[in-house]
Amino acid sequence: MSYQNPPTTPRKSATFDDYTLSEIRRAAQTGIYDIRGGGAKRKVPHFDDLLFLGASMSRYPLEGYREKCSTAVTLGTRFAKKPIELKIPITIAGMSFGSLSANAKEALGRGATLAGTSTTTGDGGMTPEERGQSEKLVYQYLPSRYGMNPDDLRKADAIEVVVGQGAKPGGGGMLLGQKISDRVAEMRTLPKGIDQRSACRHPDWTGPDDLEIKILELREITDWEKPIYIKVGGARPYYDVALAVKAGADVVVVDGMQGGTAATQEVFIEHVGQPTLACIRPAVQALQDLGMHRKVQLIVSGGIRNGADAAKALALGADAVSIGTAALVALGDNDPDLEAEYAKLNTTAGAYDDWHEGRDPAGITTQDAELAKRLDPVRAGRRLANYLKVMTLELQTIARAAGHNHVHNLEPEDLCALTIEAAAMARVPLSGTSWIPGQGNL
Amino acid sequence: MRSIDLEKTSLRELNSSLHQLKDGTNETEWEVLNPRGQHSVAVGVDAPITVTIRGSVGYYCAGMNKHATIVVHGSAGPGTAENMMSGKVVVKGDASQYAGATGRGGLLLIEGNASSRCGISMKGIDIVVKGNIGHMSAFMAQSGHLVVLGDAGDALGDSIYEAKLFVRGKVKSLGADCIEKEMRPEHHEALSALLEKAGVTDVKTSEFKRYGSARKLYTFNIDNADAY
């Protein structure tokens, strides 16, 4: 009889999984933290964990294609003389020229305009391509103030004061040397080719009391015409939104941890901030407690992918949603047709996130002139418009099924949750029960 | 001269009147009375006019100024001349923190002292301070000149890019990646021109030391991690 060890299946650690091991080796070899683009990739409770109940005996539905279901939204009704009127409650989030090519920015403007919505600048100033092709353009006011000037401020349709973003609440922008081309360097007043690390705090105000004064200045400079948004990352949404209202915002943007970034540390993206789903109800609660729900509009972003996600965010109390990553995918980012080129970059379509390296084969997250030429802004803009229109149809389909003639009539009572976590975060009952965890109504 | 009394006229009316002025206007002389620390006085002006403010102002006076000469006969609160594009802003008294923040052009002259973070993130503006400046001044300063006739506080020029700093007095400490640099003939020349522009005639350029970026933190290098 043999006493050889009986064969067992090799078992890998759940704690030290392949990704973790590879990251330890990478860190040991390079001596630098991993930087990448995009938002949190870990699985977190999300809109997929919610379901709409639909109409039945207790509510009756509207006819698809026949009965009207409005999607229009007006943003900035609190103080601005010229609020933004959009045909759809889905906007394009801020993404910089610098992180994106000029063609990509133009395509975003074209797509948004065709679909009747707004697009947003980013941490790099306003380009003529973008302004020219964007009927409604939101100008971001960021800690770095790259490219900031009063002429562009006055050309904007709204101003978004960026306090934080979901991918990195508490972090500043990052654009590595590979993407600091002559044009980007000039717009940002930086030496060409350096690693640019934007500030994480604004240079001339600290805290909500100062911000109120800063907003007064922006309103005075623009003669009180422009809606002023305040964008916060999903950190402490109840207090952040309440303070944004106190500081004088017309619109508050809350960006959860699935919201993307052009580049930052992986550890930041995955370990700081809260899931989008967890941010909405506290944000809405803050507005309600102040009597400002629907008076100060709420835009939710971070992982919005389709009309169902938009419908769920609206049902939980948002006035609009914003998309970034999904918009890039609509333009052509991570397209499987480019698989051979992704393979050369040691990645695969769907996983490519080294946007900071500027070698994007889709020509979107690059400043390389040859790569950038690959993106036809007219065609890509059309793709984005198609996608936005599909999202809107999906949103309307759900709203009609729930019996609403305006998407803003969607409400938490239209929803149930598939998991206890999602039920607690969204404050809707667990499916098949009347239980909302954390609400004390067991 | 057009005189606006902020005790009788609202800030909105003042700024709105100033914004209506265009290049070539014959209303080139303005006076603002009783500012009493109000914020955002004469912000976003875009015309070659002179605005004389009789008294002290609050935050962001002369913010984003273009072309205008704005003189504060008093002290100024935080963020004076923030993001100035061109023109000239003079503070006869002291200026609070963030003076000239992110300024892109023009001259900011502070005849008294400036507080912390003077010239933070400056992007081309020239700032001359006759007195002292506070800590973290010229933080992340990208371009332009900061001239200080007095002393500088802690962490001068932290994370500085290509701005040039000239300090006549003592520097309490330098920030990350900021070093003292040689005063070459071209720097004496540039400093002399700045002093002349600011109307400072009683000091010599040889009394100043120059500070700027060591450029060691321009690209990531793990061996520099302890510098942050």
Q: Distance between alpha carbon A228 and the CA centroid of its chain, in Å? A: 18
Q: How many other C-beta atoms lie within 10 A of the C-beta of residue B35?
A: 26
Task: Please state which of the four CATH numbers 3.20.20.450, 2.60.40.1220, 3.40.50.300, 2.160.20.60 is assigned to the domain occupying B2-227.
Answer: 2.160.20.60
The edge-to-edge listing of strands for the beta sheet with B209-213 is B2-5, B29-33, B50-54, B69-73, B88-91, B107-110, B123-129, B143-148, B164-167, B209-213, B178-181
A144, A177, A222: residue with CB nearest B219 = A177
Give the residues across from A92 on adjacent strands. Answer: A323
Minimal CA–CA distance to A205: which of B39, B224, B42? B39
User: For B34-88, what is each residue's pLDDT tens digit?
Assistant: 999 999 999 999 999 999 999 999 999 999 999 999 999 999 999 999 999 999 9
Evaluated on CA atoms A19, A279, A388, A164, the torsion sign reads negative
For residue A71, give how far its alpha carbon lies from the nearest alpha carbon of chain B (Å): 35
Q: For chains A and B, what is the number of CB pairs under 8 angstroms?
A: 100
Q: Which of A231, A239, A228, A393 is nearest to A324 (CA)?
A: A231
Distance CA A185, CA B218 (A): 13
Give the mean pLDDT of B141-153.
98
Which residue matches tokens 């965890």?
A: A437
pLDDT band per the 50, 70, 90 thresholds, residue A297: very high
Q: What is the pLDDT of residue A1?
A: 57
| Contact indicator for A343, A359 with CB cutoff of 8 Å | no
Helices (H) and strands (E) in chain B, counts: 2, 11
Query: Which chain B residue is nearest to residue A198, measuring alpha carbons?
Result: B140
Helix (H) or strand (E) holding B212: strand B209-213
DSSP calls for B88-102: EEEESS-B-TTTTTT
pLDDT in tens, B173-196: 999 999 999 999 999 999 999 999
Query: Does residue B227 register a pLDDT over 70?
Result: no
**Res B183: pLDDT:** 97
* Averaged confidence pLDDT in chain A: 95
Closest CA to A142 of A182, A188, A110, A105: A188
A193-222 residues touching B, CB cutoff 8 A: 194-195, 199, 203-205, 210, 213-214, 216-217, 220-222
- % of chain B residues with pLDDT over 90: 93
∠ CA A34-A36-A40 to the nearest 5 degrees?
100
Q: pLDDT by residue (tens digit) across A150-192?
A: 999 999 999 999 999 999 999 987 787 888 888 888 888 888 8
Among A86-95, A122-131, B72-81, B120-129, the range scoring the smallest mean pLDDT is A122-131
The tens digit of pLDDT for each residue in A13-47 reads 999 999 999 999 999 998 888 999 999 999 999 99
Distance from C-alpha of B3 to C-alpha of B7, rounded to nearest angstrom: 12
Q: What is the bridge-based pairing of β-strands B209-213 and B164-167? A: antiparallel
The answer to whether the Cβ–Cβ distance between A204 and B79 falls below 8 Å is yes
pLDDT band at A442 (very low <50, low <70, confident <90, very high): very low
Rounded-to-integer distance, Cα B178 and Cα A343, Å: 42
User: Looking at chain B, which residue has its C-alpha nearest residue A197?
Assistant: B218
Task: Return the pLDDT at B154.
Answer: 98
At residue A441, the pLDDT reads 46
The pLDDT of B92-117, averaged and rounded, is: 98
Nearest CB partner across the interface for B63, out of A144, A189, A217: A217
Residue A124 pLDDT greater than 70, yes or no: yes
Average pLDDT over residues A387-402: 97
Locate the domains of chain A by residue range: 35-426
Q: Is the pLDDT of residue B158 over 90?
A: yes
- From A226's Cα to the closest Cα of chain B, the distance in A is 14
- State yes or no: ipTM above 0.90: yes
Task: State the pLDDT confidence band at B219, using cuts at 50, 70 and 90.
Answer: confident
Phi and psi at residue A336, to the nearest 5°: -60, -20
Distance CA A100, CA A328 (A): 10
Share of chain A above pLDDT 70, in %: 99
Q: What is the mean pLDDT of residues B145-169?
A: 97
Output the CA torsion sign for A15, A17, A21, A26. Answer: negative
Beta strands in A22-77 (DSSP E): 35-38, 50-52, 73-75
> Which CATH architecture is the domain A35-426 placed in?
Alpha-Beta Barrel (3.20)
What residues of A are in contact with residue B66 (Cβ under 8 Å)? Answer: 150
Cα B23 to chain centroid, rounded: 24
Tokens of A377: 């802004």
Q: How far away is chain A from the Cα of B26, in angstroms, using its nearest Cα?
A: 22
Read off the pLDDT of each residue in A94-116 and give the average, rounded to a whole number. Answer: 96
Average pLDDT over residues A135-142: 97
Q: From A297, A203, A284, select the one nearest A249 (Cα to Cα).
A: A297
